[in-house]
Amino acid sequence: MANIDAFLWLMMEQQASDLHFIAGHEPVLRIDGDLVPVKYRAITSDECKNFVFEIMPEHLQDRFNQTMDLDFAYQLEDQARFRVNLFQHQFGPGAMFRLIPMQIPSMEDLHLPMQLLEFPVYREGLVIVTGTAGSGKSTTLASLIDYINSNSSRHILTIEDPVEFSFKRKQSLITQREIGRDVDSFQTGLTPVSRRSADVILVSSLADIDTIDLVLDAAQTGALVFAVMHTSSCVSTISHIIESFPFSEQTRIRRHLAICLLGIINQKLIQRPNIRGRVPIIELMTSSPELAHIIREGSLYQIHRYFETADEARNITFDQSLMNLYSNELISYETAVKYAQKPELFKKLTE
C-alpha cells in the first residue's frame, strides 16, 4: 500500500472529486465543487515529492525534473483510477488527484440530453467536447464511447494524456494509447499509419495546431473523431480553432471544419438542491448546411445569431439546458436564475 493511498481512500469515502496535495498546505478535498480541508498538518516539500514519486511510473520521473509539470494515471487496487497532475510551485511540488470511476456511467446516469445520441451513429466527422477543468468532459466522452462500444462493432482508438477511463471490450475492439508510454505525442498517434484502421478516435486534448490539423484530416477521411478543447462555449470554440492558425492557413481550416464538424458539446457542472452530487449544464450546437456555410465564408460574427435561432430539437442553449434541469427538478429555481446567461428572459419562461 502506497503512502498516498490513505488519502485516496478518504477521498472516495467523502465522495470527493479531487484531492489537492500541495507542499506548504494541508491536504484539501473538493466535494461537490467546494474545497474542504483535511484534518492533517501541512505537507512538506520532501513529503509531497516522496508520496507522489512512490506511485509515479519511473520513466516519468526524469521528465518531471525537466518540465516541472506532467500528468499520469494511478489505479488504486480494483476500486478507482485517478488522473494525477504533478507540478512545481513556490513552496515545492504539488499534486492534484481527480477521481475516475471504474464503472463508466451511462448517459442516463449523467443526465445528458438524448440529442447526444445523434453523434455515435455517424461514420465520420468531428465532435468536440469543451468546458473548463473539472466540468466533466472526460466522463461525458467516456459515456459516448461506451455507448458505441455497447451498440456497434467498430475499432475504437483512444489517444490520451494520460489514459483515464479503462474501456472493456463489448461489441467493439478498443485500443488505448497513452502519451509518453505508448506513443510520443498526439501527432505521432494521429499519423495516417496509426489511424488507418480506426473507425472511432478519441483525442483527449486539442492543444496545438498540428493536432487540430491531423484531427480535421482524420474526421474527413473515414473516422468519427471525438476530441476535447478547453473553451468556454460552443460559439467561442469555432473561433478559437480557426484563429489558432496563421492567417494564411485560416481559409483552408474553415473549409475543412465546415466539412467535418458534426457538433460541439459545452458543459458546466452545478450543484443539485438538497442532495449530494452535481449535474451538467449542456450547451449543444449541431452542424447544419447553414452553419457550414457561415464557417466556410468566415462570417463568424453570425454564429451567435445562428445558435440562438437554430432548431431546438438538435441544439440546446445554456439557458434552455437550465430550463430542462429545472423542469426535471434536478436543480432549484434559484440555482437556474443564478447561472442563467439571460436571467430576465429565463424568469419569463417560467411565468
Q: DSSP letters of 185-223?
A: -HHHHTSHHHHTT-SEEEES---SHHHHHHHHHHHHTT-
- Identify which has the larger pLDDT, 271 or 279: 279
- Same domain flag for 132 and 259: yes
Question: Is the per-residue pLDDT at 269 higher than 90?
Answer: yes
- Same domain flag for 234 and 96: no
Q: In the block, which residue shows the cell 442516463? A: 108
Question: Does residue 40 lie within any of the structural domains?
Answer: yes
Question: What are the pLDDT digits (tens) for 307-351?
Answer: 988 888 899 999 999 999 998 989 988 888 889 888 886 666 666
Question: What are the pLDDT digits (tens) for 127-164?
Answer: 999 999 889 999 999 999 999 999 999 999 999 999 99
Question: What are the pLDDT digits (tens) for 99-124?
Answer: 998 899 999 999 999 999 999 999 99
Structural domains of the chain, count: 2
- Same domain flag for 164 and 295: yes
Domain enclosing residue 234, as ranges: 114-316
pLDDT band for position 193 (50/70/90)? low
Contacts 24+ apart (CB under 8 A), 49-58: 49/23, 49/92, 49/93, 50/3, 51/2, 51/3, 51/4, 51/21, 51/95, 52/4, 52/21, 52/84, 52/86, 52/93, 52/95, 54/2, 54/3, 54/4, 55/2, 55/4, 55/84, 56/84, 56/86, 57/181
Q: What is the three-class DSSP state of 23? A: coil
Question: Does residue 250 lie within any of the structural domains?
Answer: yes
- Same domain flag for 193 and 303: yes
Which string of b and e fits 133-170 if b means at least 16 CB within 10 Å? Answer: ebbbbbbbbbbbbbbbbeebebebbbbbbbbbbebeee
Question: What are the pLDDT digits (tens) for 84-95?
Answer: 999 999 989 999
What's residue 78's pLDDT?
Answer: 84
Query: Which of 75, 101, 127 is a domain's end point?
Result: 101
Tell me the three cell numbers of residue 260: 467535418
- Same domain flag for 309 and 176: yes
What's residue 65's pLDDT?
Answer: 86
Stated pTM of the model: 0.91
- Same domain flag for 150 and 292: yes
Percentage of the residues of the chain whose pLDDT score is greater than 70: 97
Question: Is the per-residue pLDDT at 28 higher than 70?
Answer: yes
Stretch 44-60: mean pLDDT: 92
- Same domain flag for 91 and 134: no
Question: Does residue 328 lie within any of the structural domains?
Answer: no
What's residue 136's pLDDT?
Answer: 92
Question: Does residue 225 lie within any of the structural domains?
Answer: yes
- Same domain flag for 17 and 135: no
